[in-house]
């Protein structure tokens, strides 16, 4: 397994294709949620991902303050279904937070996560803020990790 952090312009076509394939396989197909995956935000993001056997198996995209929320943010958190039992999700979040601190210093991080993952994100120190909301037909909540 190898981890990478790249801007949109640094991604190869094959890397971006593999990232989109994973995101669509999980968010659109597995979760049966047709939504506009291409949202014109990939160009602004840092793309943090893990490759195993030439395939992206874990991914998040990271945004500097003001590009998504006023705080630093990350989203599109996804782990290939064949690797979920190996705690790759926990490793992905820990490494994403580490990468954020490397990029922007120790700062507050805001996410909009699926409500069913509240306990998971809480285990990293995130706290819910505000009320829940529906995004693309799925219940979500905003959460904050204070510096």
Encode pLDDT of 49-67 as tens digits. Answer: 999 999 999 999 999 999 9
The answer on pLDDT for 139 being more than 90 is: yes
Please give the model's pTM, rounded to 2 decimal places: 0.93
Q: How far apart are CA 30 and CA 36, in angstroms?
A: 15
Does residue 133 sit in helix, strand or coil?
strand
- CATH classification (class only), 2-106: alpha beta
Encode pLDDT of 66-121 as tens digits. Answer: 999 999 999 999 999 999 888 999 999 999 999 999 999 999 999 999 999 999 99
The answer on pLDDT for 36 being more than 80 is: no
Q: Which of 28, 96, 30 is nearest to 59 (CA)?
A: 96
Does residue 38 sit in helix, strand or coil?
coil
The answer on pLDDT for 27 being more than 90 is: no
């Amino acid at each position: 397994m190898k981890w990478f952090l790249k801007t949109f312009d640094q991604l190869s076509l094959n890397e971006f294709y593999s990232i989109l394939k994973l995101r669509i396989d999980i968010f659109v197909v597995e979760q049966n949620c047709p939504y506009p995956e291409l949202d014109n935000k990939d160009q602004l993001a840092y793309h943090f991902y893990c490759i195993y056997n030439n395939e992206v198996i874990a991914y998040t995209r990271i945004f500097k303050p003001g590009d998504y929320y006023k705080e630093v943010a990350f989203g599109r958190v996804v782990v290939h279904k064949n690797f979920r039992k190996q705690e790759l999700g926990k490793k992905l979040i820990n490494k994403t937070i580490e990468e954020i601190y490397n990029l922007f210093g120790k700062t507050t991080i805001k996410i909009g996560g699926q409500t069913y993952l509240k306990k998971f994100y809480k285990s990293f120190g995130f706290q819910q803020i505000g009320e829940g909301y529906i995004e693309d037909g799925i219940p979500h909540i905003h959460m904050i990790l204070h510096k």
